[in-house]
Amino acid sequence: MHHDVVVVPGGTGNVGEGIVRAFLLAGATVVVPGRSQERLEKLAELIGPRLGDRLIRLQAGYGTFDESTELAEEIVADRGRIDHVVLAIGGWWTGKSLWQVSDIDWQKHFVETTTSHLAVARAFVPRLDAAGSYTLITGFAAREPYPQSGIISMHAAAVLMMREALSVELRGQRRVNSLLLGPIINRSRPNGDPSWLTRDQVGEAAVAVALAPSVQDESLRLGTVEELERELTRMRA
Ligand SMILES: NC(=O)c1ccc[n+]([C@@H]2O[C@H](COP(=O)([O-])OP(=O)(O)OC[C@H]3O[C@@H](n4cnc5c(N)ncnc54)[C@H](OP(=O)(O)O)[C@@H]3O)[C@@H](O)[C@H]2O)c1
């Protein structure tokens, strides 16, 4: 992992923070693009100066095809390579049944987030190092509907299928996987059931996936620390 370049779209978020920290701890250089300078600065503060010298913050969007292409080109020009990409884009939303959602809700929680995922895949997958990996983060909502959060489930299901479509199209040329997460303990929700993963444990899983050549075309279910430990043992074997 030393000298690897890892890009984390969504690295400024609650789950992304743990992914960024874990790759920095593993010795990688981590590039985090984000739309808001304030959120990027907050991330640097959370990571701290000890690890922060390998954290590259870029105030840049990736919500459109053009923005993502420009971002990927800039990273390749600056860093010379892209080894791993881990996406923790978008968050939770609740409040309305499917027949009540507004045009704005739909744009924000389905169209924009789903478009960002495709824009990043389109720009980064062809530029990934041959030994690299591409990992999508999504939640149980991809497979389970929750009342008043239907558009989040629709987005998550689309992301999960995107991973499967990428897998059949790439046919082993690149490793593509997804992590299916349950509730995560993070800076916005510091307390929760002790069986839940923390953001840093999600990071540990993402690093293990990036490091394990045998993990390919998988959707790893990580709802509890017990499930995480089982997967870590398998991946590190
Ligand atoms: N938190 C949990 O308990 C949990 C549980 C299961 C699954 N997950 C999954 O983990 C992922 C991240 O969740 P999170 O809780 O970390 O969310 P979050 O704190 O709201 O962070 C969202 C991140 O996505 C980025 N982003 C880029 N485009 C976006 C868009 N159009 N709309 C919203 N955000 C956008 C944001 O970047 P900017 O800095 O540019 O705003 C931010 O870094 C999601 O896929 C979520 O389903 C989370």
Boundaries of every domain in the chain:
5-236
**C-alpha 16 to ligand 1 mean position (Å):** 7
Output the CA–CA distances (angstroms, integers) from residue 209 to 46, 153, 176, 206, 229, in the order listed. 24, 24, 10, 5, 13
**How confident is the prediction along the chain (237 residues), in pLDDT tens digits per residue?**
888 999 999 999 999 999 999 999 999 999 999 999 999 999 999 999 999 999 999 999 999 999 999 999 999 999 999 999 999 999 999 999 999 999 999 999 999 999 999 999 999 999 999 999 999 999 999 999 999 999 999 999 999 999 999 999 999 999 999 999 999 999 999 999 999 999 999 999 999 999 999 999 999 999 999 999 999 999 998
User: How far is C-alpha 223 from the geometric centre of its chain's CA atoms?
Assistant: 16
CA–CA separation, 127 vs 135, rounded Å?
15
Q: Looking at the whole model, is its pTM more than 0.95? A: yes
Of 190, 160, 166, nearest to 178 by C-alpha is 160
Say if ligand 1 is within 6 A of residue 112 CB.
yes
CA–CA separation, 193 vs 170, rounded Å?
38
CA–CA separation, 34 vs 109, rounded Å?
17
> Which of 7, 15, 39, 228, when mutated, tests ligand 1's pocket best, judged by the most ligand atoms within 8 Å of its CB?
15
Phi, psi of 8 (to 5 degrees): -125, 85
Question: Hey, what's the torsion of the CAs at 216, 157, 222, 200, to 10 degrees?
Answer: 90
CA–CA separation, 229 vs 215, rounded Å?
15
Say if ligand 1 is within 6 A of residue 13 CB.
yes
- Tell me the three state secondary structure of residue 107: helix
Contact 71, 62 (CB under 8 A): yes
Phi, psi of 34 (to 5 degrees): -160, 155
CATH 3.40.50.720 holds for 5-236: yes
Say if ligand 1 is within 6 A of residue 10 CB.
yes
Which pLDDT belongs to residue 2?
86
Contact 88, 16 (CB under 8 A): yes
